[in-house]
Amino acid sequence: MVPPARSAHPALTVVLSGAVDDHMAEAAARWVRARAEEREPIEIDVAEAILTGLAALARGAVEAGLTLYCWMA
């Protein structure tokens, strides 16, 4: 069974679209710490790559007048 897709809040899409690479390292570090606390570790380079890609998707969505969607499992 495929989980349902959910629309990201439009404000989240806008914030992500404005994210700059200078802030990705700090955001990734925070995410890594949070995942470690929940005993679900993620590597810093993987976290930064995911966030950078997500920001790029958000920029494209905003430029096209669209929003982001995600699947929650």
**Tens digit of pLDDT for each residue in 10-65?**
888 888 888 887 788 898 999 999 999 999 999 999 999 999 998 999 999 999 99
Categorise residue 39: left if φ over 0, alpha if ψ from -120 to 50, beta otherwise: left
Give burial (CB, 10 Å; 0-12/13-18/19+) of 67: middle
Higher pLDDT, 73 or 70: 70
Q: How far apart are the C-alpha atoms of 7 and 58, rounded to whole Å?
A: 12
One-letter identity of residue 72: M
Look at residue 30 in the predicted model and tell me its pLDDT: 92
3-class DSSP state of 38: coil
